Amino acid sequence: MKLVKTIKEVRDIIKQWKADGQTIGLVPTMGYLHEGHTSLIDESVKNNNKTVVSVFVNPIQFAPTEDLESYPRDIDHDSALCRDHGADLIFNPDPSEMYKDGFSTYVDMSVLTEELCGLSRPIHFRGVCTVVTKLFNIVTPDNAYFGEKDAQQLAVIKHMVRDLNMDIKVVGCPIVRETDGLAKSSRNTYLSSEERQAALILSKTLKLGKELISNGERNTGAIINAMTTNIETEPLAKIDYVKIVDSETMQPVNKIDRPVLCAMAVYIGKTRLIDNFSFKEA
Ligand code: AMP
């Protein structure tokens, strides 16, 4: 497995692989890899001849008030995990390699990005769409792997690929959780032990929402109210949003009469955590 830092090195390797008729899977990440990320790598390794993992903390998807500087980084740990899981190449560019002086072209999307995380992070998805487009152009993968943990991001990327006629299959992979239910996230490292315990309120509340739906509740207002009340029992939790939206358009729905995403963002202390589940009638 190779670790490269320049776009030219990636392109030279990819050119050779393509000449040899190899299929290519891409797993875009911000690093500090855990089992959520490695589940995507495993899926790519299983279904492609070559797997590229990008490790890049993308500055343009962070607002000035967010955690760009403190975001955890450990490329040696990431390299070891990628190697153990059979990846072929890590692309770990410096920000200056991705964003040359005078960089001024962005990929912006309306509608899907205007709900959920897009409301509290208004520039986030522009940064995500732009960097993913650049990674797609650099790596030219056949398949690209994204986690359902970031369900809105997955919907946005699928929509972008459709809108811009990108010849890439976007594959969604299930959420990987700790044994007690907390969704794995690089940001979990920010949590104190007390906050780590409090963070269980997210998965417990999603369970409550799921139960209400399986008991026949279809009124989203009632479900959201019950979930909100439940989160409010945890003193360290502060709700950013709890919403039920159409799975494709990300627009809120009043009634569950189509496939939906139930998603939440909750601050535990200073750490903003997200989690979700999808539901569609059997
Ligand atoms: P990140 O490094 O947080 O930007 O995540 C990179 C990719 O890994 C994204 O597609 C995420 O959705 C995915 N991912 C992160 N955490 C998990 C998880 N717990 N389960 C599944 N996928 C995940």
Ligand 1 near 26 CB (within 6 A): no
* Joined tokens for residue 34: 């855990």
Q: pLDDT 10s digit of each residue in the chain, 282 long?
A: 999 999 999 999 999 999 999 999 999 999 999 999 999 999 999 999 999 999 999 999 999 999 999 999 999 999 999 999 999 999 999 999 999 999 999 999 999 999 999 999 999 999 999 999 999 999 999 999 999 999 999 999 999 999 999 999 999 999 999 999 999 999 999 999 999 999 999 999 999 999 999 999 999 999 999 999 999 999 999 999 999 999 999 999 999 999 999 999 999 999 999 999 999 998
Residue 27 CA: nearest ligand 1 atom is 7
Residues 122, 115: Cα–Cα separation, whole Å: 10
Domain 2-173 has CATH 3.40.50.620: yes
Strand, helix or coil for residue 80: helix
Catalytic residue IDs: 37
Ligand 1 centre to CA of 161 (Å) is 19
Nearest residue by C-alpha to atom 13 in ligand 1: 147
Rounded to an integer, what distance in angstroms lies between the CA atom of residue 85 and that of residue 56? 19
Domain ranges in the chain are: 2-173, 186-276
How far, in Å, from the CA of 215 to the mean position of ligand 1? Answer: 30
Which CATH number applies to 186-276: 2.40.128.50, 3.50.50.60, 2.40.110.10, 3.30.1300.10? 3.30.1300.10
Residue 14 CA to ligand 1 centre (angstroms): 24
